[in-house]
Amino acid sequence: MSLPIVLITGQLLTDAVWQPLLDAWAARTVVVADNQSDDTITGFAQRLLDSAPPKFVLIGHAMGGFVAFEVMRRAPERVAKLALISTLASADGPAQTARRQGYIDLVESGQFDQVVEERIPILFPEDKRNDARLLGIARQMASDTGAETFLAQQHAIMARIDSRPRLGEIAVPTLLIWGEKDGITTRAHHDEIADAIPGARLEIVAGAGHLPTVEAPEVVVRLLSAFVDQ
């Protein structure tokens, strides 16, 4: 019997970002962790552990990767395999903090709807920024998240610790997936993680940006299904 799978969703994103996987894995036990009820990375991680099966495959996207690193620090014995998508292990630098503060300022001035519009150029590569399907998914996920939850997620991300010092302790099979046109995370971010985790493997999704699960679903479903089953 295959192990349960726990998905950790990123900031301003909902279960919709996983829909291709949820469809493909309809016969499996798949849990989408709560990414809307806490305002710290440690809080998200502990909530996940409190509700997750005893042993599971862990897949984190973006902010979900930050939570995944905390899960690995707290309860590595419960994770059988780890997959990380469009994420990074370092804490924010000044440029990232300034960008996040800009989003907070928009929300606090009553312009939450503008946040997702500001993010579109870094979420999607230039040739996809007029794709009605992708823009519709991004805007709906933002609307479903809402301003209050977004601010809580933002504060959690801004206060996260640097996960790099303990990456070498991760001792489970690990897969990284990165869209080659991601405007938020870089190849260097993923190489840094892959180099630090023993045996980790990086797969690059050609032409995809920050949301490869919905931009190139057939590729990501294939990669993750093979990884989970191997």
Q: What is the pLDDT along the chain (230 residues), one digit of tens a residue?
A: 689 999 999 999 999 999 999 999 999 999 999 999 999 999 999 999 999 999 999 999 999 999 999 999 999 999 999 999 999 999 998 888 888 898 999 999 999 999 989 999 999 999 999 999 999 999 999 999 999 999 999 999 999 999 999 999 999 999 999 999 999 999 999 999 999 999 999 999 999 999 999 999 999 999 999 999 98
**Contact indicator for 100, 56 with CB cutoff of 8 Å:** no
Distance CA 203, CA 85 (A): 10
**Residue 60 per-residue DSSP state:** E
Rg from Cα positions in the chain:
16
Distance CA 77, CA 86 (A): 24
Q: Report DSSP letters for 2-17, one per residue.
A: PPPEEEE--TT--GGG
Question: Furthest-apart CA pair in the chain: how many Å?
Answer: 51
**Contact indicator for 121, 129 with CB cutoff of 8 Å:** yes
Rounded (10°) CA dihedral 58, 64, 68, 74: -120
pLDDT value at position 1?
61
Q: What is the pTM of this model?
A: 0.96
